[in-house]
Every structure is written in structure tokens, then in C-alpha cells.
Amino acid sequence: MTAGKNSRVTTPVLVGITGGLGSGKSSVCSILAGMGCAVFEADKVARQLQVEDPDVIAGMKKIFGDDIYSRDEAGKLMLDRQCVARKVFMDSLALRQINELIHPKVFSAFRDAVDDASKAGVRVLLKEAAILLEAGGEKGLDSIVVIVSDLDKRIERAVKKGMGGREEIMRRIQAQWPQEKLVERADFVIENNGTIEELENNVRDLYRKILSLAG
């Protein structure tokens, strides 16, 4: 793990966790959650908005067409996420439109989470997001942690998670910012190429550094 610059500190300490597809963001957040950190999963919130928020649903239909939605046997609204993923990774305009539609609402939800964490006395709140930096989601955060990993390992993890075949995953990785660009913006970098025990040790070291920001 390497460390870089640190900025002003809030209460709770707000830490962004990001990295490319298959880098291991969720694993790092899970370890930190076990150490007492609260976690705001920006991507999960975005997915919920796409099937629960009327304004977002209307916007999604305008961008991608009505047929991206259907209902299951219980009448629950379902989004064809694979279809959306294919379109946004082939159409930069659609990607920009969906980001402009969803990210302001995700940011608002994060501010609510910060307020809740502050009232609950939480010392560290993590904001986990795949495109944290690309979407400008690092605003107001005290530190940025970037998880990096070798390409083959990233592809292997993504395949195991059922995120598609190797070719599809490679296209999605190539559509994201390269790891080198993410690292340039990081305060802390964690390499995730070894065993889970090695990752846990690196995360413990990271946690101590984060706590030092909280005084």
C-alpha cells in the first residue's frame, strides 16, 4: 500500500473507495466494515433508483426506450441491466445522459448518509463507487482509496461473479478510466494481487492511517 496527499478532515472521516472492474472494491469495503466503518454503496443506490424513483425511471425510458423495463410475475418492475450496459459502453452520449440523470440523486442520498453517520457517532464512512472519480463523486471526501490489481486477476474475478464472458468484461474495463489515471488521484493505493490474508493486512494498515485522520 502506498499513501499520498491528505486533505481536510470531516466528522465522520469520509473515504472514497474505487477501482476498476474486478479490482476488489467490495472485498476491501467488507473488511473495513468488519473493523467498524460504515459503508455507502453508491452503485447499489444507483441500481435502486433505476427501479424505484419515478423521475429516474422516466429518464431511463427516454434515453433507452420503454422496452428496457418489464414486470415479473409479482408485478415488480424489472430493468434489463445487461441491455443498458451494452448500450452505454457503446454510446458515450447515453453514458453521459445516464450519469447526469442518476448521480445528483446518489450524491443527495450520500449527504443523507453522512448526516445519519454523524448523528450515530460513526468515525469513518466509506463511499464505494466504481466511477467515483469519473463522475465527480469525490467532492467533499477527505481521502480517496484506489484498489488496483493485475488485468488477468480482474477478469477472473468478474467472470466468477457472472458479469459476462472475457471479451465482454474486457470491453467494460477498456471503457473505464485506466488504473494509472485513478492512481494519480489517490491518497492511498492498495494492490490486490495476493491472498485474502495479504489483502486483510494491507487493509488493516489502511484503517490505521484513516483513523489517524480522525485524530
> Which domains occur in the chain, in start order?
2-209 (3.40.50.300)
Instruction: With CA atoms as reference, report the closest residue to 85 among 178, 182, 163.
Output: 163
Pairing, β 2-3 against β 188-191: antiparallel
Share of the chain above pLDDT 90, in %: 78
Q: For residues 29-48, give the mean pLDDT.
A: 96
Which pairing describes strands 77-79 and 124-128: parallel, antiparallel, or unpaired?
A: unpaired
Q: How far apart are CA 134 and CA 194, in angstroms?
A: 27
Angle between helices 42-52 and 92-120 (to 10 degrees): 110
**The pTM is what?**
0.88
Taking all residues of the chain, what is their mean pLDDT, rounded to a whole number?
A: 91
Rounded to an integer, the average pLDDT of 60-66 is 96
How many angstroms separate the Cα of 72 from the Cα of each of 75, 77, 78, 116, 208? 5, 7, 7, 34, 46
pLDDT category at 80 given cuts 50, 70, 90 is very high
Q: What is the pLDDT of residues 127-146, one digit of tens each?
A: 999 999 988 889 899 999 99
Provide the edge-to-edge strand list for the sheet that holds 188-191: 2-3, 188-191, 143-148, 13-19, 124-128, 38-41
pLDDT for residue 9: 57
The pairing of strands 143-148 and 13-19 is: parallel
Yes or no: say if 130 and 29 are a contact pair by the CB < 8 Å rule: no
CA-wise closest residue to 145 among 106, 191, 97: 191
| Residue 3 in this model has a pLDDT that exceeds 60 | no
pLDDT on residue 2: 44
178: CB partners within 8 A, 6+ apart: 20
* The one-letter amino acid at 154: R
pLDDT at 78: 96
Among candidate residues 214, 202, 209, 144, the one with its CA nearest the CA of residue 177:
144
> Residue 6: which pLDDT band, with cuts at 50, 70 and 90?
very low
Q: Which residue has the higher pLDDT, 6 or 133?
A: 133
pLDDT confidence tier of residue 10, bands split at 50, 70 and 90: low
Q: Quick check: bond before 54 cis, omega within 30?
A: no
CB under 8 Å to 25, separation ≥6 — which residues?
17, 18, 19, 128, 130, 147
33: pLDDT confidence band, cut at 50, 70 and 90? Answer: very high
